[in-house]
Amino acid sequence: MIPKKIHYIWLGKNPLPETIKKCIASWKKTLPDYEIQCWDESNLNITDPAYLKTLEAKKWAFASDIARLHVLYNHGGIYLDTDMEVIKSLNPLLDTDMFIGLEDDKHIAAGIIGCTAKNAFIKDSLEAVTRSLSTDTIPIPQVMTKVYETQKGNYTFNHKIYSKEFFYPYNPFASEIKILFYSDVVENTYAIHHWGHSWKMGIAEKIFQKLKRTLKKHFLKGTTA
């Protein structure tokens, strides 16, 4: 059975935005008997070079990918992204060895993960994410999905993979509709992922920054010709 422990990661030592505080408040309100643990640079005892490299580069999201799996493997419980709003008790989901959700029709997401300690899938995912960050920066849903698809025949523990309406009732990156509607929240919805980490650069911002670099490079090349 999954223990009533909530884990979240906050790296970078910046103050929590109000939206994040509101999400955390929803955990305390909906899960009053759960232990809630914040993990940051002061209490994450991770010495892996890939993790330390991302931390030094201030790539908080990628460092968090390793940290969440490290914490879950060693302690068990439920990891929550800080932009995950909990709207219903998670107690009915605890009577298993591991649960996770899909963010679309085929990809496992990492915004909420529940497991007992020393879970084999979490171990395999941690190793795969660490290898990935040593050579590339593949998003954690892709890594975990590949791990599950290639290793699921070896997993004998009880586990559940929930469809997207349980935790990801809307997905602005997989739909033309970019906002949450009331009708998206159904009877099976336990939490709502709001897709808004403050340490992650938004898609529009990434495009803008890339365009700005391209134009700057082109302009400088033109002025020196």
Answer whether residue 220 is part of any domain: no
Which residue has tokens 């914040």? 38
Name the 3-class secondary structure at 95. Answer: coil
Q: Which residue pairs from 142-147 have beta carbons closer than 8 angstroms and sit at least 24 positions apart in sequence?
A: 142/107, 144/100, 144/108, 144/110, 145/106, 145/107, 145/108, 147/121
Q: What is the residue-level pLDDT of the chain in tens, covering all 225 positions?
A: 999 999 999 999 999 999 999 999 999 999 999 999 999 999 999 999 989 999 999 999 999 999 999 999 999 999 999 999 999 999 999 999 999 999 998 999 999 999 999 999 999 999 999 998 877 778 899 999 999 999 999 999 999 999 999 999 988 877 777 788 888 899 999 999 998 744 444 444 444 445 555 665 555 555 444
**What pLDDT does 177 receive?**
76
* Residue for token pair 């699921």: 152
pLDDT at 158: 98
The pLDDT score that the predictor gives to residue 200 is: 46
At residue 181, what is the residue type?
A: F
* pLDDT for position 180: 84
What pLDDT, on a 0 to 100 scale, did the predictor assign at position 155?
98
Of 41, 32, 42, give the one whose Cα is nearest residue 6. 32
For the entire predicted model, the pTM comes to 0.85
Contact in structure between 133 and 54 (CB atoms under 8 Å): yes
Indicate whether 113 belongs to any domain: yes
Structure tokens at 50: 């890939």
Is 108 within 8 Å of 162 (Cβ atoms)? no
Full residue range of the structural domain in which residue 181 is found: 5-200
- Residue 144 placed within a domain: yes
Residue 206 lies in a domain: no
Provide CB contacts within 8 A for 99, sequence distance 6+: 2, 93, 113, 114, 115, 159, 160, 161, 162
The single-letter DSSP state of residue 109 is E
Asked if residue 209 belongs to a domain, the reply is no
Q: Which of 191, 141, 183 is nearest to 166 (CA)?
A: 191
In this prediction, residue 43 carries a pLDDT of 96
Residue at 35 is within a domain: yes
98 domain residue, yes or no: yes
CATH code for the domain of 68 = 3.90.550.20
Residue 210 within any structural domain of the chain? no
Q: Tokens for 214?
A: 């391209």
> What total of structural domains would you count in the chain?
1
Distance between CA atoms of residues 220 and 225, nearest Å: 9
